[in-house]
Structure 1
Amino acid sequence: MEKAPLVSIILPVYNGEKYFGQSIESCLNQTYSNIELIIVNDCSTDTTLKIANQYLAVDNRVRVINNVINKKLPASLNIGHNQAKGTYITWTSDDNYYDLSAIETMVNAILKEKTDIVYANYNMISENENTVVKLLDFYNLLQLNCIGACFLYNHQVYKNSEKYDESLFLVEDYDFWLQSLKKYKFYHLDKVLYHYRVHNGSLTQSIQVDSERNQLFVKNIEVSYKKFFSSFDLDVNYYAKLFTKLHIAPYSIKSSKEVFDLKRGVNVCSEKLNLSKKNKKAWLFTIIQLQLRLLRSINKDVNFYSCLSFLKTNYALMTYKNYKVWIKLCFRLK
């Protein structure tokens, strides 16, 4: 009987003692047992290293790497990946945890679908509630990070990539997915396999509450788009700024020129990425719907008729027959 392929799970951590044990347990207790867990301790000053060494002592699938200086997430990811021996690779965070069948389910999906990268939905845990996050299809990657926090990819995806860009702290994962989009096949597994914890100490939360980090996030998003568009027949700087607006504040794209250019960008990218006509159309509709949702979120007085007016004004370059589509989009909003 052929042996199941090895899966490398990389767990970068910095001062993660609070939830670290639960994260480790969720890796080691997987129904898919042929794994290696590579913990990259990024110079923690709490009991993180002590916790890691406790698991190292009792499970030979665990390896611990200690950074002598704090190198931040993208560098720690590269350090872990460079030590990985698995056919497939994933990485997780010290404050999140897997469903026990997550790795087995993703390995089965990657083999069945003959894909390079598989990603799954997740459960978002906050102080007051749990919310299932159902991710969008891969072609939406150019406007947001729709890959989420639960994924698995062939080792070759990393080996043949530009690695995690260590100059793009806070968006290193999004940049990695964008660059991979040009070469590799993605598959969305419509199952909840992961639990993502939202709390005040999380890296994601810090982007929202720390103005300096928020500015760095926006800056690095634009740099990542510049890298992406550098191989397209488009004005790199202009489209990087336009898609950064789409990523950060979609409702701010209102002028006829911007809408026209956005549609052109969608067309060029769709052709370059070999998207089907169906996927290209669905992608554009997702962009419009996202604009409307955010428009309504910042103005509670916006109703069905003002949404319809917004679409007629800003998407007038569409043909008349799309009125049915506009109406459908307005009704679809919650």
Structure 2
Amino acid sequence: MHHIVSIIMPSFNCERFISETIRSVILQSYNNWELIIVDDCSNDNSINIITNFIRHDDRIKLFLNDKNEGPAVSRNKAIKYASGKYIAFLDTDDLWNADKLQIQISFMSNNNLAFSYSAYETIDEDGNILKMTVIPQERLDYFSLLKENQIGCLTAVYDQVMLNKHYMPLIRKRQDYGLWLSILKATPYAYRVPGVLAKYRIRKNSVSSNKIGLLIYNFKLFNEHEKLSFIKSAYYVGWNIFRKLK
């Protein structure tokens, strides 16, 4: 039984990496997918590159934002248009291993799972593999995720037939973290798929490289979005710091 997978990809000025990223989708051994790209008013060559791929593969769909609205809005639009049973996420600078979907969808289907993720390698801007491989816990629930976001966006897949569509909170950063917390209120656990299935690109000036800024966003996410008290929000930010330091 081959279920369609909808791959959610926000795009903004990503001409340097997007060809390789789209190619990593096209080369999947599991081929029943649609790639939904929402471009957030790129002013580089991104749209031409994407359009070129669409000419050769009608599983790729492109939607354009009228104004620059940020990755959360772009991802949510893509989720809205998604027709697949499974919703997967991939950013324009990350890569999937060729058997990623095959392994992950089989694992979810065979075990009747609603939400899964995997370990991933890290690469630098030039695609060289770095020493750090991120291996999350085998199983995560809402409270263990509050202590640390262990789910890499490029590895997450959820079943929208089982769970309905879940969207990203409209915050500037940590939107994916907010989405995983939302899903873990609808299903008790997320499970790690065996194997290292993707490559996460660490970029010098990326949003996620400002650690202090991210902790402030974590606090806001817990306090304003998850409606946790000031004390509880601070407690879980403390856990986040502790996990990063050890």
The answer to whether TM tops 0.5 is yes
Alignment of 1:92-241 (within 5 A): 92-126=90-124, 129-136=130-137, 137-139=139-141, 140-148=144-152, 149-156=154-161, 159-161=164-166, 163-166=167-170, 168-184=171-187, 185-205=189-209, 207-208=210-211, 214-215=212-213, 217-226=214-223, 230=227, 236-241=229-234
- Give the Cα separation in 1 of the matches to 2:14 and 2:98: 21
1:223 Cα deviation (Å)? 2.6
Q: Name the CA shift for 1:152/1:175 in 2 (closer, same or farther; >3 Å).
A: same
**Match for 2:220: what amino acid?**
V
Q: 2:79 aligns with which of 73, 77, 81?
A: 81
Q: Write the deviation string for residues 159-206 of structure 1: whole angstroms up to 9, x where unpaired.
A: 354x2111x22110111111222221311113100011112243323x
Q: Which amino acid aligns with 2:231?
A: Y
Task: Using structure 1 for the length normalisation, give the TM-score.
Answer: 0.67
1:73 & 1:228 partners in 2: Cα distance?
17
The higher relative CO (CA closer than 8 Å, separation ≥ 6) is in 2
SS across alignment from 1:27:
helix
For residue 183 of structure 2, what is the amino acid of its counterpart? S
How many residues are treated as equivalent by the alignment?
238
User: Which digits, 9 at most, give the CA deviation of each residue in 1:198-236, with x for residues without a partner?
Assistant: 12243323x34xxxxx43x33331232235764xxxx72
Query: CA 1:157 to 1:223, structure 2 compared with 1: closer, same or farther past 3 Å?
Result: farther
Name the residue aligned to 1:6.
Answer: 4
- Which residue of structure 2 aligns with residue 307 of structure 1? none
Which residue identity lines up with residue 160 of structure 2 in the other structure? H
**Corresponding residue for 2:56?**
58
Query: TM-score normalised to the size of structure 2?
Result: 0.89
Q: Can you give the 5+ residue segments of structure 1 that lack an aligned partner in the other structure? A: 209-213, 251-289, 295-334
Contact 1:106–1:151 (Cα < 8 Å) also in 2: no
Q: Secondary structure at the match of 2:16?
A: helix
Equivalent residue number for residue 37 of structure 1: 35
CA distance in 2, matches of 1:172, 1:96: 17
SS of the aligned residue for 2:17 comes to helix
- Where 2:25 maps in the other structure, the secondary structure is helix
> Hey, which of these two has a bigger chunk of strand by percent?
2
SS state of the match for residue 189, structure 1?
A: strand
Task: Check conservation: 2:114, 2:163, Cα contact below 8 A.
Answer: no
The 1:200/1:29 distance shift into structure 2, 3 A limit, reads same
CA contact (8 A) 2:79 2:165 kept: no
Query: Residue 322 of structure 1 aligns with which residue?
Result: none
Larger radius of gyration: 1
**Cα distance in structure 2, aligned partners of 1:116 and 1:226:** 27
* Cα distance change on mapping 1:160 and 1:23 into 2, 3 Å: closer
